[in-house]
Amino acid sequence: MKLTRKQFGIGMVAAGFGAGMTAQATEVPGQAAKPPAGNKPAENLPTTPMAAHQASYFFKNSAFEYVLLTSLGRAYHQGGNVGKVLYLTRQIEDGNFDSAYSAMMSAGDEALTIAQDSLSGGHKESARQALLWAQNYYDSATYFADGTGDPTKITAAWQKMDDCWLKSLPLFDPPIEEVSIPYENTALRGFYFRGKGTAQKRPLLILVNGSDGSALDMWMMGAAGGTARGYDCLTFDGPGQGYALWKQGMPFRPDFEHVVTPVVDFALTLQGVDPARIAIQGISQGGYWVPRAVAFEKRIAAAIADPGVTDVSASWTASLPPPMLALLNAGRKDEFDGYMAKMLDPATKNALAFRMRPYGTSSYFDAFKATMAYRLDDVADRITCPMLITEPANEAFWPGQSQKLYTMLTGPKTMAAFAVSDGADLHCEPGGYGLRDLRVFNWLDKVLA
């Protein structure tokens, strides 16, 4: 097979992978016609695709748009000030990763200084909130780091974010507890959030992150809303996530029941947890891991997938032109890797590095092939606990898969749609955390009653 640069570029762009090909074959709707000044063109990172009908509020680049919308949405749970985030949107040049990384890191440093000054003055609540702001901005910076071409920047941003998270734990009321969860021949780092209230036995919500989420996400998308409603919450960094990736070197694994079962074992040792009311939620790629886990782990009484993910590989293979997909399916690794290395420009290679890193490989072929093991076709019929599946409008990573999962389930199931008019569309509802909390916990209250 001989694939020309033009054929490769047109195929990748048409499939929605982005405009980061060396061949300037076509203009992608929703992107700038001309690249901005700076060291990188405006392009859609494969980490953050653009939905077909998605509106743009700040940036034509879908990666920049999504990250800033998420940063703004975190203000709902005190993760930032709306005015500050809006200010930052004007300091960032659309498509220029250096400008975005610098703006977010500077904002994080500024918030950290505010937190330190507040804490030294004895203002614990002010310090807690400012540390949340700092985490928000440092976390946002991680999404721009690979695009700068400097591989050290993502670890620098992650470490600052993690340091701020750990500093904030004793400032919560009640304090968040760092825990160690036995797992195979090591342990997973986790965090236990005690709910408000005095009930002797409380429901527990286990929070499963996505492929690139932070501990802050687990506070914003579950623990804040849950503890306010009397739920205890437990989260952890599983293989390929957060601390397990950066400090323990663990890659992803598709058979996530082998991760969740030790977590449930640990949860049952926590004083006050009602063993009959343990629920689990997965966000983003966790929308695959959680259904996979509850197909086997039957001590869980209810599960939430935000969104439903039946085939992780779909968001990867949809980007491939037919000749490249043929190479992948034929197992022709050297040719596949050769074409990818030759045809992708540096910006897109950096973007792919972001997605490949948790799979523990630098081979394009191995990464794409690995995603094909993350499917629910053979296990969905084993899921018996009630399941809530979110279906946000303009889901760009796994469009249509929430409905597919709903159809595959044979047990009790509920679909929670989020519309543009709700202000809660897009992957994991970045602009609608309040409405998301309401629908998730109203459903949980009823199911676990």
What angle do the packed helices 364-371 and 322-330 form, to 10 degrees? 80
Q: What are phi and psi of 236, to 5 degrees?
A: -160, 160
Window from 25-34, 223-232, 327-336 with minimum mean pLDDT: 25-34
pLDDT of 24? 30
What angle do the packed helices 364-371 and 333-343 form, to 10 degrees? 110
Can you tell me the distance from the alpha carbon of 311 to that of 98, in angstroms, rounded to the nearest whole number? Answer: 33
Which residue in 244, 191, 252, 245 sits closest to 222, CA to CA? 191
Q: What tokens appear for 271 in the block? A: 């004083």
pLDDT of 337? 96
pLDDT mean across residues, the chain:
90
pLDDT of 41? 39
Query: pLDDT per residue over 174-204, tens digit each?
Result: 999 999 999 999 999 999 999 988 888 999 9
Ranges assigned E (strand) in 367-412: 387-392
- Tell me the average pLDDT across 430-438: 98
pLDDT of 348? 78
pLDDT of 19? 33
- Tell me the average pLDDT across 111-126: 98
User: At residue 10, does pLDDT exceed 90?
Assistant: no
Which residue in 237, 240, 258, 261 sits closest to 249, CA to CA? 240
Contact 85, 73 (CB under 8 A): no
- Tell me the average pLDDT across 86-102: 97
pLDDT of 6? 52
Query: pLDDT per residue over 199-247, tens digit each?
Result: 889 999 999 999 999 999 999 999 999 999 999 999 999 999 999 999 9
- Record the pTM: 0.91
Look at the alpha carbons of 426, 430, 433, 437 in this order and tell me if their dihedral is positive or negative.
positive
pLDDT of 411? 96
pLDDT of 166? 98
pLDDT of 42? 37
Contact 108, 156 (CB under 8 A): no
User: At residue 351, does pLDDT exceed 90?
Assistant: no
Instruction: Tell me the one-letter amino acid at 36.
Output: P
User: At residue 68, does pLDDT exceed 60?
Assistant: yes
Q: Please, which pLDDT band fits residue 28 given cuts at 50, 70 and 90?
A: very low
Which residue in 287, 144, 162 sits closest to 221, CA to CA? 287
pLDDT of 26? 27
pLDDT of 344? 87
- Burial of 290: CB neighbours in 10 Å, binned 0-12, 13-18, 19+: buried
**Radius of gyration of the CA atoms of the chain, in A:** 21
Instruction: Tell me the one-letter amino acid at 14.
Output: A
User: At residue 32, does pLDDT exceed 70?
Assistant: no
Can you tell me the distance from the alpha carbon of 13 to that of 34, in angstroms, rounded to the nearest whole number? Answer: 16
pLDDT of 18? 39
User: At residue 16, does pLDDT exceed 70?
Assistant: no
